[in-house]
Structure 1
Amino acid sequence: MVRVLIADDERNIQKAYRSDIQDAADRYSLAGTASRCDDAVVFADSAGVDLILMDINTPGEYNGLEACRLIKEKHPGIKIIITTSYTDLRAFDKARECGADSFWLKELSPENLVDIMDRTMKGESVYPDRNLDVMLGQARLSDLTAAEIDCLYKLIEYVSVKKMAEKMCVEESTVKTHLLHLCRKTGCDNKAELAILAANARLAIPDLHLMDVEDQG
């Protein structure tokens, strides 16, 4: 029997996960529920758990990625599935760096959670396709270039063209060109409208750019 820890601060998500575990009671049991990733780290140290469903954004000292790294360093045998409702492509790479076994998008994954759990417990590493079917106004995320997507992330995080250019290591004119192309593709009239569109699409996980996973530890 696989003992599952739910690490998520949303009550409705906790309820849905408990229901999934109950529906697969022949192979999964609920080990516990944590609303803070800090508590998940403590739980992994003190109680029997085989699999953790770890949300990225929870209150506390650690986010889900940081908690994943800490747990994997001490308990590499515990399987961890990172979960999120954001469509931030950068999170896939950061999750791998932290040692996450799999990654599940709550609202976009074509597979249900139990299928991902089953595959993960069998030793698979299951991550979403990077060509996500996400609409941004009149464009799909997959229609944008890598540079344009990076520009969108920087727009959400910094807003200022000068700061965006600095963080992207390009000229301000290059940033303005990317923004012009993005507005044309998405149907936005200006930078502000584009920023709101990207934020409403949950394109960027808050403060993900501050999570320098490789430098921690």
Structure 2
Amino acid sequence: MENKAEKPINILIVEDQVLLRESLEKLLEAQKDMHVSGTLSYAADALDFCRKKKPHLILMDVLTSDSLSTSDGADETEHSRIQINGIEAALDIRFEFPDIKIVIMTAFPEITFIDAAHHAGVQSFIYKSISSDTMLNIIRNTMGGYSVYPDRIPRELVKTPKFTEREIKTLRLLAQAKTRKEIAAALDTTEGTLKAIITGILNKTGYDNIMQYVVHAVSSGIISPKG
């Protein structure tokens, strides 16, 4: 009796950086046990793709552009869209398709992403700095029913003191050019407390101007305004 070959893992890649997306596609397609069933630039398109193609696993970036897209590149329009990140998309996908495995990836060392991924029911979480072999092993292990999460931020990504979630949110809001009054409201606190939060950030970083640090943090990948 002939042994039937196991079906390959059908994988959807969601990554808005073209070069990285194409590199990932080539890497996965080169594996005998993997097949790329589709690629997307935007996390907001992932759920609709799952409804049509039902991949086995999704390899998805935490942060993708929130511009409107079409999967085939045709007839793009300029309609507005609610911004959705990879973890929010994962939550929707897990609710509708609990059997689809999800691996979230990021280049940002934000401490909030790992906790958010856990809460969304994401099976595995990786940093883009890992080796190709490690990524392939994590994909296979995830399909095998294992959950893989980092126990620490990679050394090469550690560029900042450890911030609290409130400090990170403050930095992100500052990066969005919000006023201090708007930031205090978003944090559900007073402007006096906000001033103390900013002072704490400056003390941790050694900067004497918060906006100078915000520029550094965004350009270095320490925070993302879109988070």
The residue that corresponds to 2:61 in the other structure is: 55
Distance 1:161 1:54, change over 3 A: same
Distance 1:125 1:67, change over 3 A: same
In 2: Cα distance, 1:43 partner to 1:79 partner: 14
Aligned residues: 203
1:86 to 99, 108, 118: 108
The residue that corresponds to 2:180 in the other structure is: 161
Distance 1:37 1:180, change over 3 A: closer
1:152 to 171, 185, 189: 171
The residue that corresponds to 1:97 in the other structure is: 119
The residue that corresponds to 1:19 in the other structure is: 26
In 2: Cα distance, 1:135 partner to 1:18 partner: 28
In 1: Cα distance, 2:51 partner to 2:16 partner: 20
SS in 2 for 1:141: coil
The residue that corresponds to 2:192 in the other structure is: 173
In 2: Cα distance, 1:171 partner to 1:103 partner: 35
5+ residue gaps, structure 2, are 1-7, 69-80
In 2: Cα distance, 1:42 partner to 1:170 partner: 38
1:133-187 Cα deviation digits (max 9, x unpaired): 4454xxx333x45554444334334543333333333343333233233223323
The residue that corresponds to 2:48 in the other structure is: 42
- Which residue identity is paired with 1:194? Y
Identity, % of aligned positions? 29
Distance 1:171 1:8, change over 3 A: same
In 2: Cα distance, 1:16 partner to 1:141 partner: 32
Distance 1:131 1:52, change over 3 A: closer
SS in 1 for 2:151: coil
Distance 1:95 1:111, change over 3 A: farther
In 2: Cα distance, 1:115 partner to 1:5 partner: 17
Larger helix proportion of the pair = 1
The residue that corresponds to 1:141 in the other structure is: 161
Distance 1:191 1:38, change over 3 A: closer
1:65 to 87, 91, 104: 87
Asked if the contact 1:7/1:55 (under 8 Å) is kept, the reply is yes
In 2: Cα distance, 1:39 partner to 1:170 partner: 35
